[in-house]
Every structure is written in structure tokens, then in C-alpha cells.
């Protein structure tokens, strides 16, 4: 075969195989057998091997995998991957509907979809070709697993038809079909290999495998259900998913009632009731129903909280419960010294996983349930993830049963426990010498949202601590290669990677260092607020209680904790040591180039659609000039920036409260 002829045949086979793939996975109407498909694929593989110059990077042959990924790159999401607010009762859905309709000032149409119990994914397409696939991660950053996602046949490598945006992201869920999961476990059982625990965890583990050919053999599947980009391809979510199916995406099919428009709360309940009965007929797991506002402009109007959209909610089906024997109550010590009682159970299968342990939370919870060793207890999964004890079968309680006596001393260092007034948990006060606290603080320090030190994980922290090489977070910066090499599983390359990671962490910005040092109640968001306001660790250290609570979202509890932290000499010594090591303890001025204080003290609500700014750009401009973004109108709001298609209810409320309503042009005048 001549080169030109081969080029044409490769193009024909590629198009034909893509169409067959679409027929099979997207519209469930295959026109050839699996054998015939495999024969065509083999022809294409042979031609690409002989004429590699004509092989497309997104050829159907890539579905078989073969790429080896030693390390998954961490990348930032273009759009944060927020989670949905969850509800377990219908009153919450009614409240949600009433709240949305009140803000909209009119009747609202919703879209109901299944809540897939899989692994969330964001897939970026450019000019119709799959560019990158990223896991949810922490919501702001995730792992690039593109090579593995390309092996999933229900995810198109090249889009079909016309009309799709040049550059966009589609999000959805990757999961194990239950039939495939069962078959794999049957094979593993036959080969005397450990069984996969449950479909969700197995899918997550499969997507992080280094060999993409193994991922291909596992036959994962997907549903993709939300499109993000600079422009909208349609005015409504339901309409957009119709288009997505035409472009080759496996989106929820309306023909199978997996997605439906609902114009009332009663129609939403009908959809929920239908799938509560029929969900066991599906070849994949769902754990509830998602309800979304259909109109995109209203979605923008409703906006977001810090964690989730205000225009969507998830209804979770009630979790399964099982009874089992509580063999023993033990106690764990956390990095803050908090003591957590743990129920050690007779292993029992619950919602697809074997449960051996469950948290008892605190002494009050044990007393409330009157849980005792030897009891038969009722266990369920909170949010279908964390096992918890919800009751005791008193009829099966042994005659010689004795009430549980909560421990009085730390199980690790034997220090007498404290219980702070107004708090439920007991604490070990031995902050600087209790091993789990020391290791826990160091593990928190190196975690992804904190210092994210490459080559250093919790197991290595444990190893270094037991070898006597580190006893606090500052010691991490004094490690040498000579100290590391004698350790088990520590070759020269891994030692170099660890030391390089430690050195690179010195460039981590102040807000993350502040979070990493582990001040109680100073989480990721609070650390950002404090860093932005005070600019340096010295300013935070010297701040009065009144100055601390004056910062947005800093209450008495957090302010007291910050003051207490810096009153301890050992903490101040630790900070001084970390400063000497070269860590960032002040905001780098470059971060605030172009900022002003023109809007200092003014609060804004942004609503509607704008021509010169996106909503996010407007909010950034407000903060850059000293203003404050707030989520809803109140008597304390100074300005409402009104764009096109702003809801009438919001305008009316602003007028009632006497809030100044301005346009984006008015805003530009304000900051110039």
C-alpha cells in the first residue's frame, strides 16, 4: 500500500471506528459485532505501525492504553470543582425551591438527574479534541490523568458534528459498571487475589494506575453532565446536554428517564420516588438525585457559597444499616491532642464495603447511646462514607454488661486528659512530647493544601520520626542525604527528590505556610483572610484581640486561639526557626500589584450578566481595590452592581433597603 493510500485508509478507519464507538456507548444502538469492531481496530493498528507519520494522537487505537505515567502532574482547575449541598429530607428540597423562586421572582424550571456514585472528572476539549482530564482533587487543584481517561471508550477523543465551542470543559463521573466490577472480582477470587472493596474506590484506584493498558482492560464507563466555558452554547442546561449527546458525549439519556425537566416540587418528588424504587435495576451505583436550576442566567444570578452552588442541591437516599458486635472501644489521639473513641467491630458488609471500625466521636456520644463493649450495635454510613453507630440492641446486651468508663489519661503518653468548658472532646495537653500529636502536626504541615512537599508523605514522616531524625516541623529543613540513605526503601534518587521537595517548599506563599503551622481553628480560608489583612507573621503575632476580630470572618474563638498560640514560647521559637530556614512569612508585594484602597469599607453584591467584565472579574476588581464581596443583600450592603437579566426580586429588595444600584460603567468610574 502506497503512503497516500495508507493515509486515506487510516482516516477512513478512524472515522468509522469513532462512529461505531458513538453508536455503541452513546446511543446504545451498535451496528456491528464486537468481533467486527476488533478486526477494524486491528487493521488501523497495523497501518499506524507501518505509517506512523499518519497516526493521529487521538486515534481509536489509543483506547488500548500503553502509556506509563510515573507521576501524575497536579494542575489547577480553570473553574473550581465545588461540591453540592446534600439533603436527606424533603423539607430541605421544599425550602430550596421556595428560596430559588423567591430570588427569581417567578416560577422556576428544574432539571433532575441521577447522582452517580463514582469519581468526579473535568475534561478539557480544544478544537473538538480531548486535551486534558483532571480529577477533582481538593476542588482547586487535581491530578492530570489524561492518559488513563483516553482509554475509556464512552469518553470521545474527537467530537462529532458541529457547533461545539472551540475551548470548553465538560464534567461528569467515571464509574465501574456493576457487571464489570462483579466479573473482575470473580476473576480475582478464582486467582486467589484480594477482592476489590467497592465500585467507587476501585474506580478511583484504577484511574491512578501508572499503566494505562491496565486501565483500558478494566472497562470503566462514564456519564458527563455539565459544560463550562466562556460562552454558553444554549440558554438552558437541559438543552446543552441534548447538544452534548450530538457531539458524542455520553450524557444522561432522557429516553431512559435518567434526566427530566420538572416544573414543580411535586414533579421533583416523583422523579426521586421513581429512582428510589428502580435504582437497583441500573448497571452502576447512584446514591441520590441532583436537582439543578435549568436556566443558566438564573444560575449566575443565584451564584455560589464558598463550597457549593446556590442553584443546585443533592437529595441523598437513606443509607443502609446493619447490626454487628462491638468487640472493644479504643482511643485515638489527633494532631491537636483531641481524643477520639473508636468502636472496633465484628467485620460486617455495609453498602459494598467491609466495616471493622466506627467513630464514637466523644464521651457525650457514648453516654447518650449508652454504648458498651459486647453490645450488638446498629451501624450505618454517614453520607454513605463514614461508618457510625446509631443505636444499641438492648435485647441482646449481655447480663454482665458494664457501662463504659471513659479514659482519664492519654493512651499514648499517659498525660492526664483535659476537657475544655463548652467543648465535647477531651484533649491530651502534652503538645510537644505526645508522639501522635507530633507526627500529626508534621503530616498536616506537608499535606497538599499546606506545604505539599514532594517526596514526603505520612509514612516517611513516621519513618523519620522513629529514626529520631525529626521531632518538629523545623527539623524537616535540616535533613541531609547522609541521614536519609541508611533508611529502609530510601535510595539515592528518592532521597534527592525528598530534599528537592523540601527546598522547593520554601517558595510556598505565606497564606499556605500560615495554614501549615497548624494553629487551632485556622483553616485554609481563615489563613488566607489573616495573611491578606496583616501581611506578615509579625503583624499577626502582635495583633490585639480587637484587631483580630475586626478581620472579615474572624470570630472570638479563632482570635482567642491565635492569641493563645503566640503566647507559647515554644511556638514563637518554632516560627523564628522556620523564618531562619527561609520559609515565606510575609505577603510578597508582587501579589498586590495594581491594588488600591478606593473601595475600602464598601460591600458589594454582583448580579446579572455583564458586557465588559465576567462576574469573577468584577469580584476580583472589587477586592483588588479594597472592597468586599458579599453573597446576599442586607442593610449593610453599600452597592448592588446590576447587569442584564438581573432578577426583579433582587432589584426590589435593594430598593427597599435603600442600597445604591449601579451599572458596570458606574463601577468603572468608582475605581478610576
Q: Is the pLDDT of residue 191 over 60?
A: no
Looking up cell 459485532 gives 33
At 207 the pLDDT is 92
Contact between 103 and 302 under an 8 Å Cβ cutoff? The reply is yes
- Measured CA to CA, the distance from residue 130 to residue 58 in angstroms comes to 8
C-alpha cell belonging to residue 248 = 458524542
CATH of the domain at 238: 3.30.470.30
Q: Is the pLDDT of residue 577 over 90?
A: yes
Q: Based on the domain organization, do 49 and 137 belong to the same domain? A: no
76 within a domain of the structure (yes/no): no
Q: Based on the domain organization, do 94 and 201 belong to the same domain? A: yes
At 454 the pLDDT is 86
Q: Is the pLDDT of residue 438 over 90?
A: yes
Binned at pLDDT 50, 70 and 90, residue 563 comes out as very high
Last residue of some domain: 540, 569, 591?
591
At 386 the pLDDT is 64
pLDDT in tens, 593-641: 456 778 888 899 998 888 777 777 788 889 888 888 887 788 889 999 9
First-to-last CA distance in the chain? 68
The three-class DSSP label of residue 361 is: coil
At 162 the pLDDT is 87
107 within a domain of the structure (yes/no): yes
Answering whether pTM is above 0.85, one says no
The three-class DSSP label of residue 316 is: strand
Q: Based on the domain organization, do 98 and 173 belong to the same domain? A: yes
Last residue of some domain: 568, 591, 614?
591
Q: Based on the domain organization, do 174 and 293 belong to the same domain? A: yes
CATH of the domain at 564: 1.10.150.20
At 193 the pLDDT is 60
Q: Is the pLDDT of residue 225 over 90?
A: yes
Number of domains in the chain: 6
> What value does the mean pLDDT take over residues 474-478?
97
536 within a domain of the structure (yes/no): yes
Q: How does strand 386-392 pair with strand 376-382?
A: antiparallel
616 within a domain of the structure (yes/no): yes
- Measured CA to CA, the distance from residue 333 to residue 339 in angstroms comes to 5
Q: Is the pLDDT of residue 124 over 90?
A: yes
Q: How does strand 167-175 pair with strand 286-293?
A: unpaired
> What value does the mean pLDDT take over residues 21-44?
77
pLDDT in tens, 488-498: 989 999 999 99
CATH of the domain at 368: 2.40.50.140
What mean pLDDT value characterizes the chain?
88
At 433 the pLDDT is 94
Q: Based on the domain organization, do 476 and 540 belong to the same domain? A: no
Q: Is the pLDDT of residue 384 over 50?
A: no
Looking up cell 425551591 gives 97
Q: Based on the domain organization, do 391 and 493 belong to the same domain? A: no
Q: Based on the domain organization, do 473 and 569 belong to the same domain? A: no
Query: Closest Cα to residue 486, out of 459, 462, 467?
Result: 467
Query: Which residues touch 242 (CB under 8 Å, ≥6 apart)?
Result: 254
pLDDT in tens, 257-280: 999 999 999 999 999 999 988 887
Region of poorest pLDDT, from 94-108, 328-342, 646-660: 646-660
CATH of the domain at 625: 3.40.50.10190
Query: Closest Cα to residue 332, out of 440, 180, 189?
Result: 440
- Measured CA to CA, the distance from residue 149 to residue 133 in angstroms comes to 7
Region of poorest pLDDT, from 422-426, 581-585, 587-591: 587-591
Q: Based on the domain organization, do 486 and 536 belong to the same domain? A: no
99 within a domain of the structure (yes/no): yes
430 within a domain of the structure (yes/no): no
Q: Based on the domain organization, do 307 and 334 belong to the same domain? A: no
At 383 the pLDDT is 44
Is 115 a residue of the active site? Answer: yes
At 648 the pLDDT is 80
At 105 the pLDDT is 87
At 268 the pLDDT is 97
Query: Which residues touch 349 (CB under 8 Å, ≥6 apart)?
Result: 322, 355
Q: Based on the domain organization, do 396 and 343 belong to the same domain? A: yes
Last residue of some domain: 386, 419, 452?
419
Tell me which residue range forms the domain holding 330: 321-419
Binned at pLDDT 50, 70 and 90, residue 420 comes out as confident
Contact between 283 and 256 under an 8 Å Cβ cutoff? The reply is no
At 68 the pLDDT is 63
Which range has highest mean pLDDT (60-74, 298-312, 418-432, 503-517)?
503-517
- Measured CA to CA, the distance from residue 34 to residue 42 in angstroms comes to 12
Percent of the chain with pLDDT over 70: 94
Binned at pLDDT 50, 70 and 90, residue 591 comes out as very low
Q: Is the pLDDT of residue 133 over 50?
A: yes
More confident residue, 661 or 386: 661
CATH of the domain at 20: 1.10.287.610
> What value does the mean pLDDT take over residues 9-21?
86
Q: Catalytic residue, from 62, 115, 250, 651: name it.
A: 115
Q: Is the pLDDT of residue 385 over 70?
A: no
The size of the chain, in residues, is: 672
How many CB atoms neighbour CB 433 within 10 A?
A: 12
At 192 the pLDDT is 56
At 194 the pLDDT is 62
Q: Based on the domain organization, do 176 and 283 belong to the same domain? A: yes
570 within a domain of the structure (yes/no): yes
Q: Based on the domain organization, do 280 and 413 belong to the same domain? A: no
- CA–chain centroid gap for 22, Å, is 30
DSSP string computed for 507-526: GS-HHHHHHHTT-TT--HHH
375 within a domain of the structure (yes/no): yes
- Measured CA to CA, the distance from residue 245 to residue 159 in angstroms comes to 10
At 482 the pLDDT is 95
Amino acid at each position: 500500500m502506497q503512503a497516500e493510500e495508507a493515509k486515506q485508509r487510516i482516516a477512513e478507519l478512524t472515522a468509522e471506528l469513532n462512529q461505531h464507538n458513538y453508536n455503541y456507548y452513546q446511543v446504545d444502538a451498535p451496528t456491528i459485532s464486537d468481533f467486527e469492531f476488533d478486526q477494524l481496530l486491528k487493521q488501523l493498528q497495523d497501518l499506524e505501525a507501518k505509517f506512523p507519520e499518519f497516526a493521529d494522537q487521538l486515534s481509536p487505537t489509543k483506547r488500548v492504553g500503553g502509556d506509563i505515567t510515573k507521576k501524575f502532574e497536579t494542575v489547577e482547575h480553570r473553574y473550581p470543582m465545588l461540591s453540592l449541598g446534600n439533603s436527606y429530607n424533603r423539607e430541605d428540597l421544599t425550602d430550596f425551591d421556595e428560596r430559588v423562586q423567591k430570588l427569581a421572582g417567578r416560577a422556576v424550571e428544574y432539571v433532575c438527574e441521577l447522582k452517580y456514585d463514582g469519581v468526579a472528572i473535568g475534561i478539557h476539549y480544544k478544537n473538538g479534541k480531548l486535551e486534558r482530564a483532571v480529577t477533582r482533587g481538593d476542588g482547586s487543584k487535581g491530578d492530570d490523568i489524561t492518559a488513563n481517561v483516553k482509554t475509556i471508550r464512552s469518553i470521545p477523543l474527537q467530537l462529532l458534528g458541529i457547533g461545539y465551542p472551540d475551548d470548553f470543559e465538560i464534567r461528569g463521573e467515571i464509574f465501574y459498571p456493576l457487571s464489570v466490577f462483579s466479573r473482575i472480582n470473580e476473576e480475582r477470587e478464582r486467582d486467589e487475589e484480594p477482592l476489590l472493596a467497592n465500585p467507587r474506590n476501585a474506580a478511583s484506584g484504577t484511574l491512578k494506575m501508572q499503566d494505562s493498558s491496565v486501565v483500558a482492560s478494566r472497562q470503566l464507563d462514564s456519564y458527563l453532565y455539565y459544560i463550562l466555558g466562556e460562552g454558553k452554547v444554549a440558554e438552558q442546561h437541559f438543552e446543552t446536554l441534548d447538544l452534548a449527546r450530538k457531539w458524542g458525549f455520553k450524557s444522561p439519556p432522557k429516553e431512559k428517564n435518567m434526566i427530566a425537566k420538572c416544573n414543580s416540587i411535586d414533579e421533583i418528588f416523583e422523579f426521586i420516588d421513581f429512582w428510589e424504587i428502580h435504582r437497583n435495576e441500573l448497571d452502576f451505583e447512584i446514591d441520590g438525585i441532583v436537582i439543578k436550576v435549568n436556566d443558566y442566567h438564573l444560575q449566575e444570578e443565584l451564584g455560589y457559597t464558598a463550597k457549593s452552588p446556590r442553584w443546585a442541591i443533592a437529595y441523598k437516599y437513606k443509607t443502609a444499616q446493619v447490626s454487628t458486635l462491638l468487640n472493644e472501644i479504643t482511643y485515638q489521639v489527633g494532631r491537636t491532642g483531641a481524643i477520639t473513641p473508636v468502636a472496633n467491630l465484628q467485620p460486617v458488609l455495609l453498602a459494598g464495603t467491609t466495616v471493622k471500625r466506627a467513630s464514637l466521636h466523644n464521651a457525650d456520644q457514648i453516654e447518650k447511646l449508652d454504648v458498651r463493649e459486647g453490645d450488638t450495635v446498629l451501624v450505618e454510613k454517614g453520607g454513605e462514607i463514614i461508618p457510625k453507630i446509631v443505636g444499641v440492641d438492648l435485647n441482646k446486651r449481655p447480663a454482665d454488661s458494664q457501662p463504659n468508663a471513659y479514659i482519664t489519661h492519654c493512651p499514648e503518653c499517659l498525660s492526664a486528659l483535659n476537657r475544655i468548658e463548652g467543648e465535647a472532646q477531651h484533649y491530651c495537653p502534652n503538645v510537644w512530647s505526645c508522639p501522635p500529636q507530633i507526627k500529626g502536626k508534621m503530616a498536616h504541615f506537608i499535606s497538599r493544601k499546606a506545604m505539599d512537599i514532594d517526596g514526603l508523605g505520612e509514612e516517611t514522616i513516621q519513618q523519620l520520626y522513629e529514626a529520631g531524625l525529626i521531632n518538629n516541623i523545623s527539623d524537616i529543613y535540616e535533613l541531609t542525604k547522609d541521614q536519609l540513605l541508611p533508611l529502609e526503601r530510601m535510595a539515592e534518587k528518592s532521597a534527592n527528590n525528598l530534599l528537592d521537595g523540601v527546598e522547593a517548599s520554601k517558595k510556598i506563599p505565606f497564606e499556605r505556610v500560615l495554614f501549615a503551622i497548624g494553629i487551632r481553628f485556622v483553616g485554609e480560608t481563615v489563613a488566607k483572610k489573616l495573611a491578606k489583612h496583616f501581611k506578615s507573621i509579625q503583624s499577626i503575632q502582635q495583633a490585639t484581640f480587637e484587631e483580630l476580630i475586626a478581620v472579615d470572618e474572624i470570630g472570638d474563638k479563632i482570635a482567642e486561639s491565635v492569641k493563645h498560640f503566640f503566647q507559647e514560647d515554644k511556638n514563637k521559637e518554632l516560627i523564628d526557626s522556620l523564618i531562619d530556614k527561609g520559609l515565606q512569612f510575609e505577603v510578597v508585594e508582587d501579589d498586590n500589584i495594581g491594588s488600591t484602597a478606593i473601595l475600602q469599607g464598601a460591600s458589594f453584591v454582583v448580579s446579572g450578566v455583564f458586557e465588559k467584565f465576567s462576574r469573577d472579574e468584577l469580584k476580583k476588581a472589587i477586592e483588588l481595590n479594597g472592597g468586599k464581596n458579599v453573597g446576599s443583600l442586607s442593610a449593610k450592603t453599600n452597592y448592588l452592581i446590576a447587569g442584564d437579566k438581573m432578577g426583579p426580586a433582587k432589584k426590589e429588595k435593594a430598593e427597599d433597603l435603600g442600597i445604591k444600584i449601579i451599572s458596570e460603567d458606574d463601577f468603572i468610574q468608582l475605581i478610576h
